[in-house]
Amino acid sequence: MILIKLGGSVITDKAQYRTFNRDAVSRLCREIRDSEENVLVVHGAGSFGHVLAKEYSIQDGFVDFAQVPAVARVQYDVRELNLMVVREMLDAGIPAMSVPPGSCFIMDDGKLIVDNTDVMLSASHLGIMPVMFGDVVFDRKRGFGICSGDQLMEILCGIYSPERVIFVSDVDGLYDRDPKSNPDSKLLTEVTSELLEKVTGDSTIDDVTGGVKAKMEAMLRITTPERDCVLINGSVPGRLYSILKGEKIISTTARGGLR
């Protein structure tokens, strides 16, 4: 099985509140279908989650009751995004179902607790893809917090033990500097813990889940001696299909684990 994370930057316009990139999602779903590979998909919240979450500091937990309407709104928005993604999967012929983390799981001081996997595994065994996403999750100590798609990827690696992990973003891979603001930035084709220490975490958009550097750290945590994690540009047609079929493309591969 191959685990795929569709980043919020490729399925939405993260700079514009609630802007769904339907054409990109539809194409990516067709590429998944045409590959005929057994996959599991997680997606980010993008502009359906990060904009309000950043404004009300939802990632920091409960501070005052002014945050409560925003918590409810973000949960609504990311569920709407998820249903649009699932709709594109269904239209592509992929049997998929929505599994909202905020309705299934709890957090404890920022750590995601998943103590019941029956729904996910039952769906998978029947050939239905459970689609999870970045969400607001209630927290035993903080009141609530942000469960990122990257956290879910780590959890799902422990549950499903995928052979390969693919992160789909809107850039060709990880750069030594933000390529959107630094035209002279250099693409890193392979990343290890040692190299990661030299990479900046700058970002051009609001991201309450930590930005590109945090995503690469998550990728390194997922790697094993038998499993690499690859970051690709899903904005380029055909790249997801090619990597699913084992072809070599422009990308960044994380190897060796996080030290």
Q: Give the start-to-end residue ranges of the domains of the chain.
A: 2-254
In sequence order, which ranges of the chain are alpha helices (DSSP H)?
A: 8-11, 22-35, 50-55, 68-91, 101-104, 118-125, 149-160, 193-196, 211-222, 239-244
Counting residues of the chain whose pLDDT is more than 90, the rounded percentage is 70
Name residue 145's beta-bridge partners: 137
Q: Note if the pTM is more than 0.75.
A: yes
> Which residue in this structure is represented by tokens 């969400």?
135
Q: What is the pLDDT of residue 200?
A: 56
Confidence band, pLDDT 50/70/90 cuts, at residue 199: low
| Comparison of pLDDT for 94 and 150, the residue scoring more | 94
Counting residues of the chain whose pLDDT is more than 70, the rounded percentage is 93
Taking the C-alpha atoms of residue 156 and residue 173, their distance in angstroms, rounded to an integer, is 22
Taking the C-alpha atoms of residue 170 and residue 231, their distance in angstroms, rounded to an integer, is 10
Q: What is the pLDDT of residue 184?
A: 84
Q: Give the three-state DSSP class for 155.
A: helix
pLDDT of 209 above 60 = no
- The CATH superfamily holding the domain 2-254 is Acetylglutamate kinase-like (3.40.1160.10)
Take residue 104 and report the two structure tokens written for it: 């299934």
Could you tell me if 217 and 148 are in contact, meaning their C-beta atoms sit under 8 angstroms apart? no
Strands 106-108 and 39-43: unpaired
